[in-house]
Structure 1
Amino acid sequence: DQDHWMDFSNNVLGKSIVAVIYTTYWTSVGALDYVTRVDNFSRTSRLINKWVGAIIMRMVGRSRAKMFDLPPRENLQHQLDEMSKGIDGKFFGGLEPNGADFANYGILRSMQGLNGFDLVERHAVISGWYDQMQQRSGV
């Protein structure tokens, strides 16, 4: 079961969040603005990475969205619902987190503060699981 949910994190959840984060050119700019502020880029590199990168990432987001039948936000909601079915007690690992917990948490953590994270924060099961994983991981 752990292997299934680890594969889910990589093959489904990771692709689903990319489609949501980079839904439009402006959400792409916002995501890349955040990234270029976190890393130590020169002003010129920041501008190029942000504006040109947004075009590229919008195309990537569009290609990821085509992998699923639902629109990006609906798909992510559906995937969070699916993910919640695998949580056995507090975690995928039961009372203690296992590799599946850390794999899925890492994927969702990467979108914190970006477009679509509100779906995680509002999800009846995943929001509580996410908070517990954040406390456990310290990240």
Structure 2
Amino acid sequence: MRRVNGLATLHRAISVSGGATATQHRLVQVEMMSTSSTNSPKISDRVAISGPSVARGVAGTMFFSVVAASLSQEVHAKEPLKSVNLAPKEVVLYQYEACPFCNKVKAFLDYNKIPYQVVEVNPISKKEIKWSDYKKVPILTVDGEQMVDSSDIIDKLFNKLHPGNETTDSDEERKWRGWVDNHLVHVLSPNIYRTSAEALESFDYITSHGNFSFTERLVAKYAGAAAMYFVSKKLKKKYNITDERKALYDAAETWVDALNGRQYLGGSKPNLADLAVFGVLRPIRYLKSGRDMVEHTRIGEWYTRMEGAVGESSRIKV
């Protein structure tokens, strides 16, 4: 009954926010967790969810032998950039603050101590990226060169920073990077929008960190939360998720199993798979779903190590 009352409150909020219905078809492009229907990591950065009725207006702005494996992975661990001569001079990230794919890119930039500017994109007007034919985030410009799709961005940046080492990724590393894009991200939205209260908590975070006008913030918080509550139920069905929390806990345990006693999948230092998992989980870490995940699984120690390894943000305040 409390859930029903909560939803009724959300619907009343939509009704009284003048223009909410008209705006709603575009505003929820701020959905925290992108949930592309394709299995291709290159397309999985899409931040739009299509579907009938409300879903059309919703978009996404939501673990081998210890010693042997550690030794074999040591050479593949990605180390912070040592030669400043290889560092790009100007890096600009066009993003939604809560987008998991944008946070993947930021985890790589932060770990490698690459200074970058951030342009927060308004998910309704997208005026900040009108100059680009690519209308999804993240978009990264590196010394004027446009890069798109989080996994491609990271590959290209790594190759720029480590010329001649393009083939050092191990099969294990590639496997788990793909797992992040094709599985892990898909269990996030059903969790952060699991209940009306969690949906409101999520959109409070989104609107507090996003690029919204005052009116857009109000509409996005209540209309978006209500819409995504219902869309999350469709996502459960689409990805064959019966129990949202169990799916999240299973994913966290699967990742810890893949570590197999190592500090990181990369051995003594994080590799690109470590950074990918850390990046997409970072936006939810202190939401209820993230707190529950750390409390009920073994992922907390690894996550804390990653926080230390990635360190402070390299974002340039402008």
TM-score, length-normalised on structure 1?
Answer: 0.89
Distance in 1 of aligned mates of 2:278 and 2:225: 25
Contact 2:187–2:248 under 8 Å retained in 1: yes
Distance in 2 of aligned mates of 1:22 and 1:124: 20
- Among candidates 304, 314, 317, match of residue 131 of structure 1: 304
1:114 aligns with 2:283: no
Distance in 2 of aligned mates of 1:40 and 1:134: 26
Distance in 2 of aligned mates of 1:136 and 1:97: 8
Cα distance change, pair 124–20 in 1 and its aligned pair in 2 (3 A): closer
More strand by share: 2
Contact 1:22–1:58 under 8 Å retained in 2: yes
Distance in 2 of aligned mates of 1:77 and 1:38: 27
1:95 aligns with 2:268: yes
- Among candidates 19, 28, 49, match of residue 220 of structure 2: 49
- The match for 1:83 is 255
1:17 aligns with 2:209: no
Distance in 1 of aligned mates of 2:220 and 2:200: 9
Cα distance change, pair 7–60 in 1 and its aligned pair in 2 (3 A): farther
Contact 1:121–1:127 under 8 Å retained in 2: yes
Contact 2:207–2:221 under 8 Å retained in 1: yes
More helix by share: 1
What residue ranges of structure 2 are gaps of 5+ in the alignment?
Answer: 1-171, 314-318
Computed over aligned residues only, the root mean square deviation of the Cα atoms, in angstroms, reads: 1.7
Contact 1:21–1:27 under 8 Å retained in 2: yes
Contact 1:16–1:72 under 8 Å retained in 2: yes
Contact 1:28–1:57 under 8 Å retained in 2: yes
Q: Which amino acid aligns with 1:135?
A: G
TM-score, length-normalised on structure 2?
Answer: 0.41
Which entry has the higher C-alpha Rg, 1 or 2?
2
CA shift for structure 1 position 123: 4.8
Higher normalized contact order (CA 8 Å, seq sep 6+, divided by chain length): 1
Distance in 1 of aligned mates of 2:310 and 2:228: 29
- The match for 2:98 is none
Aligned positions, number: 139
Distance in 2 of aligned mates of 1:62 and 1:114: 19
